[in-house]
Chain A
Amino acid sequence: MSEAELICDLPRLEELSAEWDALAVMNAAPESGPAWMIGWWRHVAPHEAQLRVVAVHDRGQLIGIAPLYVDLGQPRLRRRHRLLASDFSGYVTPLALPDRAWEVADAVAHALRTSEPRPAALELGPLPATSPWAMALRECWPGALRPLAYRADLLEVPTISLHQGSFEEWLQSRSSRFRANYNRYRRRFEQEGGTERISTPATVTADIQTFTRLHIARWQGLGSSRLAALGERQPILIGELAAALLGEGRFRLLILEIDGEPISADLCLTAGGEIIGVNIGWDERFKHLSAPRLSMLSMIERGFRHSDRRFSLGWGRVDYKHAFANGSDAASWDVLLPVGSQLPPALARAAPAVASRRVLQSAKRLLPVEEVDRLRVLRKWISRARQ
């Protein structure tokens, strides 16, 4: 019989790191493991956030974990239980042993129901669209009525399947233009004395500094980068990630250099065969070498070599990713609103978001793709102008 434990303090959570990480690997969820989530908690989380992690054990073994927090700094009516690092990741998800998700969801729902503050809204996202968690938590939530549920968003995630064939075969499946460009970039890079290397324990500290410098420089004047906004905390966060994952080859920081001078630093994390790109920094002076593309191609090649299964290119801006992708997945943002005295204000708060998504969805359905693209550009332009 499984038992849920509500964890509100970091030391207890850290005790579970090894088992939690094993679940992240099993679920191929690199951003849902302790390295990423605890790192986020230490360096990115809002100041008044409190942990509300539910760990579920069966005969002493961790069979699932729902790593949640609640920001008490938010006004009471706006408070939501969210997944750790949800505002900082491509995908986050509760974790469970295979086919134990519903059992874990049942235990989690009962533990949350009696926790303080009692959840008025539970926001789950960005979840993989194949995730059973939103449905499982809703179905298992105690009480005569299930929580109300709505999907706040659903976005495409381009992917590259790595488990069949080789890098060369994947390259052959790309358009002739893509291949010609790749060969040209590669040739030019090599002609200019370009080399690449992956960080090792010996180089990682300096490489993280390089990444930080290049990333911040790249984003200057371009708008906001949440990673760059961390300032001095950025190298600390990445350093902790490296300390946890580099030994197992799951922290991949790729440095491209020209005659020993770093021109690009690209960071990916992996777990259970899934690769996700965290971020990249590169030197504008070497724009003609298309360092980000070269870097991504090198990461893909390494993925094939390491027998990884999939490279998830993330939601966000997807246009350039389509040239690389040979598949697609989706990320969803689902919100559960438990039925109780807090429902009316939670519903009132959710209504505008739901309505605006409906309008957006309908606009997308009504307008031709070019019009949607134009609107998107306009929206970006307005948001930049505002900043």
Chain B
Amino acid sequence: MSEAELIVEEARLKELEDAWDTLAVANASPISGPAWMLGWWRHVAPSGSQLRVAAVHDRGELIGIVPLCVEPNDPHGYRLLAHNFSSSVTPLARADRTWEVAAATAEVLGRAQPRLAALALAPLLASSPWTTALSDVWPGRIAPLVLRHSVANAPTISLEHASLEEWLSSRSSGFRADSRRRRRQFELAGGTARMSTPETVTADIQMFKQLHAARWQRLGASRLVALGEGLPLLLGELAQALLPTERFRLLLLELEGEPVGAYLTIAGGGELVGINTGWDERFKRFSPVRLAMLYTLEDAFARGEHHYSLGRDASYRLGRGTGSYKLDFADGNDPVAESVLLPIDARLPRTLMSTDAVGRQIRRSIRRSLSDDEVDKLRGALKHLKRSPG
């Protein structure tokens, strides 16, 4: 018989780190493991946030974990850890124990303080069973209301081919030729690629920070840059947790020893997740991001990974691309949904108002009725309005 424990202290969560990480690997969701989520908790979570993690055990073994928190701006809204910093996050359970874990979690959340008014399950893979499971087993006379706010493209690459060359041969001739040409040019110019090692990682993280910040200086806001000195601390902890098992992969591109680009991915259970990138504008001609992707892919094929998740894409129309580098590389799409579960009680009307459900629905319908070009134009106009002084 499984039992849920509501964890509110980071120290208790640390005790479960190994078992939690095992679940993240079993679920091929490195981003939902303790390294990433606790890193977020320590360095990114709004100050004043409180942990509300449901850990479910069966005969002493951790069979599932639902890592939640409440933030000071919305004390009755429970959210997944790292929700605003990840392409997708998810509760975890052993194979075919999801419903059991959901039932134990729902029970314990029903009694949690502050009283839960909304459970945001986002960003969650659209194929995830968690929203259905939690809604189905939620205690109470009436099942909670489930609102789905959005669904976004999340391009992926299947790594079932034996090597980078074999994968390239499955791509269009234009993409193949372009990839090979870029790589040849870079290498002819003295370019090299290497993965961080325990010896180089501290310096490499600084380099990543520098390249990422430089890249984003002209582009607007980057949540990583906004962390300031917190960024190397976050990445340092991530490296400490994952580098010994080679699941922290920081790829550095260098030209005769000078850094050109850096690309960070983390891995677990055959899944590779792209975190972020940084590159030097002066070397734009080499397309450092595309080059980094190629080297990272080559490394992933050599390690026998199965799947590469490139993160959410700015495409608004499902099934249609915008021509970004992610969509150029991707051969699949595993969309991410934003759902919120609202238990039925006296607070529901107020919670409903605060979720802007109607407004979101209208915006979605407008997007569906417009062509891609029109949506682009509208987005441009909105951005312009936002940037205009006053």
A residues neighboring B (CB under 8 Å):
97-103, 105-106, 129-132, 135-136, 139-140, 143-146, 154, 156, 159, 161, 163, 310, 326-330, 332, 361-362, 365-366
Evaluate contact between A99 and B333: CB separation under 8 angstroms: yes
Evaluate contact between B332 and A135: CB separation under 8 angstroms: no
B contacts with A, residue count (CB < 8 A)? 38
**Chain B positions 126-159 with a Cβ under 8 Å from a chain A Cβ:** 126-129, 132-133, 136, 139-143, 148, 151, 153, 156, 158
Evaluate contact between B127 and A103: CB separation under 8 angstroms: no
Evaluate contact between A139 and B151: CB separation under 8 angstroms: yes
Look across to chain A and name the residue whose beta carbon is closest to the beta carbon of B103. A328
Known A-B contacts A131-B127, A365-B143; the reply to A161 vs B96 at CB < 8 A is yes
> Could you tell me the distance between the alpha carbons of A116 and B247 in the complex, rounded to whole angstroms?
52
Known A-B contacts A145-B368, A154-B136; the reply to A102 vs B318 at CB < 8 A is yes
Evaluate contact between B126 and A135: CB separation under 8 angstroms: yes
Q: Which residues of A contact B142 (CB under 8 A)?
A: 362, 365
29 interchain pairs, CB-CB under 8 A: A97-B158, A98-B158, A98-B307, A98-B332, A99-B158, A102-B335, A103-B332, A105-B319, A129-B132, A130-B128, A131-B127, A132-B127, A135-B126, A135-B151, A135-B337, A136-B126, A136-B318, A139-B151, A143-B368, A144-B365, A145-B365, A154-B132, A327-B95, A327-B96, A328-B99, A329-B96, A329-B98, A330-B99, A330-B136
**In angstroms, how far is the closest chain B Cβ from the Cβ of A95?**
14
> Could you tell me the distance between the alpha carbons of A143 and B364 in the complex, rounded to whole angstroms?
12
**In angstroms, how far is the closest chain A Cβ from the Cβ of B221?**
28
B360 within 8 A of A: no
**In angstroms, how far is the closest chain B Cβ from the Cβ of A128?**
9
**In angstroms, how far is the closest chain A Cβ from the Cβ of B193?**
26
Q: Which residues of B contact A144 (CB under 8 A)?
A: 365, 368-369
> Could you tell me the distance between the alpha carbons of A140 and B99 in the complex, rounded to whole angstroms?
28
> Could you tell me the distance between the alpha carbons of A101 and B156 in the complex, rounded to whole angstroms?
12
**In angstroms, how far is the closest chain A Cβ from the Cβ of B123?**
14
**In angstroms, how far is the closest chain A Cβ from the Cβ of B331?**
8
**In angstroms, how far is the closest chain B Cβ from the Cβ of A246?**
28
**In angstroms, how far is the closest chain A Cβ from the Cβ of B149?**
12
* Extra pairs beyond A97-B332, A100-B332 (8, CB < 8 Å): A98-B160, A103-B319, A131-B127, A140-B318, A154-B136, A310-B95, A327-B94, A365-B141
Which of A97, A100, A161, A327: most chain B CB closer than 10 A?
A: A327
Q: Which residues of A contact B156 (CB under 8 A)?
A: 99
Look across to chain B and name the residue whose beta carbon is closest to the beta carbon of A105. B319
Q: Which residues of A contact B136 (CB under 8 A)?
A: 154, 330
> Could you tell me the distance between the alpha carbons of A327 and B94 in the complex, rounded to whole angstroms?
9
Please encode chain B, from 315 to 326, with 1 for each CB lying within 8 Å of some chain A CB and 0 for all others: 000110000000
> Could you tell me the distance between the alpha carbons of A135 and B139 in the complex, rounded to whole angstroms?
25
Evaluate contact between B99 and A161: CB separation under 8 angstroms: no
**In angstroms, how far is the closest chain B Cβ from the Cβ of A269?**
19
**In angstroms, how far is the closest chain B Cβ from the Cβ of A143?**
7
> Could you tell me the distance between the alpha carbons of A145 and B369 in the complex, rounded to whole angstroms?
8
Look across to chain A and name the residue whose beta carbon is closest to the beta carbon of B337. A135
Look across to chain A and name the residue whose beta carbon is closest to the beta carbon of B172. A59
> Could you tell me the distance between the alpha carbons of A136 and B148 in the complex, rounded to whole angstroms?
13
Q: Give the residue of A99, A106, A145 whose beta carbon is less than 8 angstroms from that of B319.
A: A106
Known A-B contacts A328-B100, A365-B143; the reply to A130 vs B368 at CB < 8 A is no
Q: Give the residue of B143, B151, B153, B333 whose beta carbon is less than 8 angstroms from that of A100.
A: B333
Q: Which residues of A contact B100 (CB under 8 A)?
A: 327-328
> Could you tell me the distance between the alpha carbons of A332 and B96 in the complex, rounded to whole angstroms?
15
Q: Which residues of B contact A156 (CB under 8 A)?
A: 99
Evaluate contact between A130 and B158: CB separation under 8 angstroms: no
> Could you tell me the distance between the alpha carbons of A106 and B335 in the complex, rounded to whole angstroms?
13
B42 within 8 A of A: no
Q: Which residues of B contact A146 (CB under 8 A)?
A: 364, 368
Evaluate contact between A140 and B95: CB separation under 8 angstroms: no
Which of A102, A163, A310, A329: most chain B CB closer than 10 A?
A: A102
Q: Give the residue of A130, A365, A366 whose beta carbon is less than 8 angstroms from that of B129.
A: A130
**In angstroms, how far is the closest chain B Cβ from the Cβ of A3?**
13
Known A-B contacts A99-B332, A129-B129, A366-B141; the reply to A310 vs B318 at CB < 8 A is no
> Could you tell me the distance between the alpha carbons of A327 and B2 in the complex, rounded to whole angstroms?
12
